[in-house]
Amino acid sequence: MTPEKMYDEFTKGIWKENPVFVQVLGMCPTLAVTNSAVNAVAMGAATAFVLIGSCFLVSALRKYIPKQVRITTYIVIIATFVTIADMVLEALVPAVHKELGAFIALIVVNCIILGRQEAFAGRNPPLPAVLDAAGMSVGFFIALMCLGSTREILGSGSIFGVPLFGPSYEPWVIMVLPPGGFLVLGGILLLFNWVKQRKLARRAGASA
Amino acid sequence: MSEVELTIKGRGNEPSGVRLTATLALSGMLSGFLLSWAYQVTTPIIAANKAKALQAAVLEVVPGSSAVSYLALRAGVLVPISPDEKTTDPVIYGGYDDEGNFRGYAVRNAGAGFQDEIQLLYGYDPATKRVIGMRILASRETPGLGDKIFKSDSFVANFNDLAVEPEITVVKDGRDQPFEVDAITGATISSKAVARIINEGNAFWLGSLPPAGEEPPAPAPAAQPGAREGGRP
């Protein structure tokens, strides 16, 4: 595998095939736990651990898993990593674990994870599978951070719990409530697509 | 006929049932092995975290205390138990100062809030029959409104010296009786829930406590591993 190919496998998840902004997968954690930057970081890290770990195992074992039982086996592998992540978070950062609550366990059903096993890890050797998973994790992490920090700045007037605007700031409470997740995600998707359209238009203009 | 042929043909390149079963059984076993290992590593840390958080909360709601005893209600009598003991009996916590004097009880209770269960811990001084502190342990109240039950210092201060007789009552127009709590504007339901949970705790416990001044003595320091370093100097 050439370095360029490896680089491509890694970076495609960050921009070109970003799991949240382009594939619009994994919306449940994206909307539910991004009311603060800290929660976004914890969710992104837990998802990255599960995604990279399960992609590696699935890819390493892909020749031994008969295709008739592959989904069941993938789910067992994913659920194992999720449960380990759940226990480790509860032991290391109980406060964050309490905030994220059931959403850690719900990583099992995050479409990004099973999607990568089916689309990539199940048919590629371990190295590209891990690179692909790492790229997707970084893309997901960036997306969660965009939402989490925007919502925390607007909704609580702070970032990572550090107040930004002083005591006179009246928090825009709806931003940390569920509707705020939809509003910010909608805004970011709009921006993302606008940038993409402009890029395409410019390319079309250049070639014409 | 074609159906039978297809089935047989299809079977030719399919793995046998034994192979499928073995794959699933093996992955299940591997997963079970990994999980039991992770469980063994993390469980003691999680339990220690929880015990530490609870002790810190007790010290907070019973002002002036530096040691905690766990007291189980058995046959109408409070019996000191070890912090590690698992019991189905109702448990209350006693707070003691450095000289071993009893400073108050900490009562844990839970009840319905606006969105989900509110779990709280409150300090109670039997000598004055007053609530002397309150801390929310877990809640999912609305951010910005209901979460003021623990974020608003002025609301929490209501519970630093609050008479429990005849009953803790939530009022909206400012507190002028010793048993009144000033409601949070926009979060009356959450405010009332906190008062109700404490009243329910009192209804259960106040009849079962020994007379004031006859509380169980402070625990021996050896029976309180971690209490000293977890407590205030």
- Neighbour count for residue B178 (Cβ, 10 Å): 11
DSSP strand pairing (B169-171 vs B180-182): parallel
Whether A82 shows a pLDDT value over 90: the answer reads yes
> Which residues share a beta bridge with B77?
B74
Element (H, E) at B49: helix B17-61
Contact B24 A176 (CB under 8 A): no
Q: Which of residues 3-22 of B touch A (CB under 8 A)?
A: 14-15, 19-20
Q: Is B136:B150 a contact under the CB 8 Å cutoff?
A: yes
Domain holding A120, by residue range, is: 3-207
Cα-to-chain-centroid distance, residue B59: 14
Whether A142 shows a pLDDT value over 90: the answer reads yes
- Neighbour count for residue A138 (Cβ, 10 Å): 17
**Pairwise pLDDT comparison (B175 vs B102), residue with the higher score:** B102
DSSP strand pairing (B169-171 vs B162-163): unpaired
Q: Is A98:B52 a contact under the CB 8 Å cutoff?
A: no
pLDDT tens track for B143-180: 778 888 988 888 999 999 999 888 899 998 888 889 99
CB within 8 A of A115, min separation 6: which ones?
Answer: A19, A23, A25
Q: What's the confidence (pLDDT) of residue B228?
A: 43
CB within 8 A of A26, min separation 6: which ones?
Answer: A19, A20, A47, A110, A111, A112, A140
Whether B232 shows a pLDDT value over 90: the answer reads no
Residue A198: pLDDT band with limits 50, 70, 90: very high
Q: What's the confidence (pLDDT) of residue B59?
A: 93
Name which of A74-78, A144-148, B70-74, B214-218 the model is least confident about. Answer: B214-218
Q: What's the confidence (pLDDT) of residue B111?
A: 94
Q: B232: closest CA among B97, B113, B38? A: B97
The shortest C-alpha distance from A89 to chain B (Å) reads: 9
Q: Which CA distances in Å does B161 have to B75, B164, B191?
A: 31, 10, 16
A-chain residue closest to B137, CA distance: A98
Q: What's the confidence (pLDDT) of residue B13?
A: 67
Cα-to-chain-centroid distance, residue B117: 11
Contact A88 B27 (CB under 8 A): no
Segment A132-145 shows an average pLDDT of: 95
Q: What single DSSP character describes residue B9? A: H
Picking from A66, A87, A98, the nearest residue to B20 by CB comes out as: A66
Domain total in chain A: 1
- B128 shares contact with chain A (CB less than 8 Å): no
Q: B29: closest CA among B21, B39, B19, B40? A: B21
Q: Is A189:A21 a contact under the CB 8 Å cutoff?
A: yes
Q: What's the confidence (pLDDT) of residue B141?
A: 84
On the CB side of B217, CA atoms within 13 Å amount to 4
Q: What's the confidence (pLDDT) of residue B77?
A: 85
Q: Give me chain A's average pLDDT, please.
A: 91
B-chain residue closest to A156, CA distance: B144
Whether B100 shows a pLDDT value over 70: the answer reads yes
The shortest C-alpha distance from A78 to chain B (Å) reads: 10
Give domain limits for chain B: 45-223
Angle of helix A37-60 versus helix A126-156 axis, rounded to 10:
170
Contact B35 A80 (CB under 8 A): yes
Contact B24 A69 (CB under 8 A): yes
Contact A94 B50 (CB under 8 A): yes
Residue A208: pLDDT band with limits 50, 70, 90: low
Q: A156: closest CA among A138, A139, A174? A: A174
Whole-prediction pTM: 0.77
